[in-house]
Structure 1
Amino acid sequence: MVEADARIRLYEPSDDKLVKFSIGKASMEGLAVANQSACFHPFTLSAWVALSCIMIQLLDWWPKPEYGLLGYLPPLPAFGCWGAVMLYLIDWFNRPQFEDASMDLLRRPDVADIAKHYQRSPSSGFFILEYSGKFVGLIAIDASKDSQSQDTLMDKKKLSSSLPAKKSQGTSSVATIRHFYIDEPYRKAGIQEDLLAHAVQHAFKADSAVKEIKATTTSLIAYSQKCIRDAGFALEKPLGKLGVYGWKLDLVVLRRAYWEKQAAGTVL
Structure 2
Amino acid sequence: MTESDARIRLYEPSDDKLVKFNIGKASMEGLTVANRSTFFHPFTFSVWVALACIMIQYLNWWPKPEYGFLGYLQPLPAFACWGAVILYLADWFNRADFEDASLDLLRRPDVADIATYYRRSPSSGLFVLEYAGKFVGLIAIDASKNSQSQDTLMDKGKLSSSLKSKHTIPQGTSSVATIRHFYIEEPYRKAGIQEDLLAHAVQHAFKADKAVKEIKVTTNSLILYVQKCVRDAGFALEKPVGKFGIYGWKSDLFVLRRTQWEKEGAAS
* Fold shared, TM-score > 0.5 on shorter chain: yes
Structure 1 pair 133/67, CA: closer, same or farther in 2 (3 Å)? closer
Greater alpha carbon shift after TM alignment, 227-236 vs 2-11: 2-11
Greater mean alpha carbon deviation, residues 82-91 or residues 32-41: 32-41
Q: Give the deviation of 1:110 after TM superposition.
A: 0.2
**Match of 2:194?**
192
Q: Give 1:225's aligned residue.
A: 227
Aligned residue type for 1:112: A
* 1:206 aligns to 2:208 (yes or no): yes
| Paired residues of 2:220 and 2:250 also in contact (CA < 8 A) | yes
Does residue 97 (structure 1) correspond to residue 97 (structure 2)? The answer is yes
SS at match of 2:265: helix
Aligned pairs (5 A) from 1:1-150: 4-150=4-150
Structure 2 letter corresponding to 1:217:
T
Counterpart for residue 252 of structure 2: 250
SS in 2 for 1:154: coil
**CA contact 2:153–2:160 (8 Å) conserved in 1:** no
Q: CA-to-partner distance for each residue in 1:34-77, whole Å, 9 max, x for gaps?
A: 11111111111111100011111122222222233333233221
Specify the code of the residue in structure 2 equivalent to 1:215.
V
SS at structure 2 position matched to 1:201: helix
The separation in 1 between residues aligned to 2:98 and 2:209, in whole angstroms, is 35
Aligned residue for 1:153, secondary structure, equals: coil
Identity %: 79
Q: State TM-score, norm by structure 1.
A: 0.94
1:133 and 1:262 map into 2 onto residues whose CA distance is 33
Please state how far the C-alpha of 1:162 moved relative to its aligned partner. Answer: 11
Q: 1:105 is matched by which residue type in structure 2?
A: L
Pairs aligned (count): 263
User: Equivalent residue for 1:240?
Assistant: 242
Residues 175, 212 of structure 2: 8 Å contact kept? yes
Looking at structure 2, the residues matched to 214 and 15 of structure 1 have their Cα atoms a distance apart, in angstroms, of: 25
**Residue 4 of structure 1: CA displacement?**
4.8
Tell me the TM-score normalised to structure 2 length: 0.94
State the alpha-carbon separation in 2 of the partners of residues 265 and 160 from structure 1: 43
Q: How far off its partner does 1:219 sit? A: 2.0
Q: Is the 8 A contact 2:61 2:75 kept in 1?
A: yes
Larger displacement relative to structure 2 (61-70 or 190-199): 61-70
For structure 2, the 5+ residue unaligned runs are none
Provide the rounded CA distance (Å) in 2 between the counterparts of 1:160 and 1:239: 24
Question: Closer, same or farther in 2 for the Cα pair 1:191/1:162, shift >3 Å?
Answer: closer
CA distance in 1, matches of 2:147, 2:180: 9
More divergent stretch after superposition (61-70 vs 177-186): 61-70
Q: Deviations over 1:82-117 (max 9, x none)?
A: 011010011111111001101111100000000000
Residues 217-261 of structure 1, C-alpha deviation per residue, up to 9 Å, x if partnerless? 112111111111110100111011122111110001000100010
- Aligned with 2:218 (options 206, 216, 237): 216
Distance 1:88 1:9, change over 3 A: same
Q: Secondary structure at the match of 1:121?
A: coil
SS across alignment from 1:62: coil
1: CA distance between counterparts of 2:28 and 2:196? 24
Q: CA deviation at 1:3?
A: 8.6
> RMSD over aligned Cα, in angstroms?
1.8
Choose 96-105 or 38-47, whichever is displaced more.
38-47
In the alignment, structure 1 segments of 5+ residues that lack a partner are none
Q: Tell me, yes or no, if the aligned pair for 2:236 and 2:255 is still in contact at 8 Å.
A: yes
